[in-house]
Amino acid sequence: MTSYSLFRQNVQQNQTTCELAVEYYLQSIEQRSDLNAFLTVNTDDARQSAKEADVRFKDDTPRPLEGMVVAIKDNISTKGLTTTCGSKMLQNFKPVYNATVIERIRNAGGIIIGKTNCDEFAMGSSNENSAYGNVLHPINNEYVPGGSSGGSAVAVAGGLAHTSLGSDTGGSIRQPAAFCGIIGFKPTYGRISRYGLVAFASSLDQIGPFANSIEDTALLLDTMSGHDPLDSTTANLPPTQSFYALHHHDDNVTVGVLPDEMLEGCNEDVISAYHNCIQKLRTSGYSITTVEIPGKSAWIPTYYILATAEASANLSRFDGIRYGFRGPENEGMDVFTSTRSLGFGPEVKRRIMLGTYVLSSGYYDAYYKKGQQARRLVHNGYKEIFAACDVLFLPTTPSTAFKFGEKSKDPVSMYLSDLYTVSANLAGIPAISIPVGNGANSMPLGMQLQAAEFEDEKLLRIAKHTMDLFA
């Protein structure tokens, strides 16, 4: 797994070219087609972009991401390139515009290699919910790669691209990053434009990168961040400068850690690795303080009430009339019924029904309104935590990757895979998963760092140092 930063050095030293890199990745995608990581490969455009990138390197005018090969989750709009969201509902849909992040990556010299498989409409934790088949783990095909951005994680972990983009609504970048042994970063809500991201839960969704190095993560953040007039939820802030600040040393960093009782539900591999990492942090000079996050038992219920309610509203646009799949019926309400019955998979239907229920008359106050109140408590709780520490260190997932079929028939067990990730989405704070070794089953382990809102640059600096420490 080669980082883009190292690749760029090699290009500048005339040891390789962007064309060679693109050909290598195209061959790798074909050779590892069994992984089912890609739904669409952008062959011709990638080759042309590579030629243009080599000219810029030769002319000594490379842009920040010149020649970076990037895979894109298939719920991010790409002009003229099929965008399915992993669903039959959009099986032949080609957007007429690019998402803002795609425009910014292209303008910075990035090369879009293709679109990656994902759980349908980003709903899932295992990549077993795609209408186009499971994504397989590159280390052991019996295990899930995580979800919903499983294809994007496998593209990086399997050596099929330098970096990739995913979306994170409740952990869909960080969880597969942990399962696949790579970096997965969810920026602060509003740091990166969501324009062109097919909405699951609009107040929770955030686009973010997968990478093999913090340097590559920082480059993508700096490129994609900044206010976007096409997305009213983006913060009115300039792009970050995190790449150039990575080597700045933060003095007297205090790391918040969880008490043992908040590790209930984690397996022994995760608990042991967590304690070992804390000891390394302590001996390297970090100040360690134990913090309580109020309402942990309410995180999952709160998240699934709010996320499904928003999904119910957002997915109402898929009706067989305007675009996308259309069912066989042609009369009145039968069009809607057949289209949505045949176009959506079981997990999406489950969440739409749950969301419609919590928004319905008589249940809105009992569920949705209380969910919003609980979300405010999570947000306020994090404010108290970051008044006492610079970053919070916690597990990314309660276990390493599980096997296919192990949890697919038990939705509650599957949802608990997001136990330590959903709180960052509820609070809108930045969070990153970094690899810390392997469990007893030889599958990767990930740990998570979280920081206060818009402290993305500080979070990446501390993440870089801790990754070096844990290596």
Which tens digit of pLDDT belongs to each residue from 429-449? 999 999 999 999 999 999 999
Q: Give 306-332 pLDDT, tens digit per residue.
A: 999 999 999 999 988 887 888 888 787
Q: Give 229-286 pLDDT, tens digit per residue.
A: 999 999 999 999 999 999 888 889 999 999 999 999 999 999 999 999 999 999 999 9
Q: What is the pLDDT of residue 249?
A: 82
Listed as ranges, residues in the chain with pLDDT below 70 are 1
Which pairing describes strands 254-257 and 391-395: parallel, antiparallel, or unpaired?
parallel
In the residue annotation, 172 being an active-site residue is answered as yes
Q: Give the count of beta carbons closer than 10 Å to the beta carbon of residue 329.
A: 16
Q: What is the pLDDT of residue 336?
A: 84
Structure tokens at 216: 């590559």
In the residue annotation, 186 being an active-site residue is answered as no
Q: Letter for the amino acid at 428?
A: G
Nearest to 450 by CA among 185, 194, 172: 185
In the residue annotation, 33 being an active-site residue is answered as no
Asked whether the beta carbons of 300 and 422 are under 8 A apart, the reply is yes
Q: Which of 77, 152, 172, 399 is catalytic?
A: 172
Does domain 4-224 sit in CATH 3.40.630.10? no
Q: Which of 73, 186, 458, 464 is catalytic?
A: 73
Q: What is the pLDDT of residue 334?
A: 86
Q: What is the pLDDT of residue 49?
A: 99
Task: Give the start-to-end residue ranges of the domains of the chain.
Answer: 4-224
Q: What is the pLDDT of residue 1?
A: 60
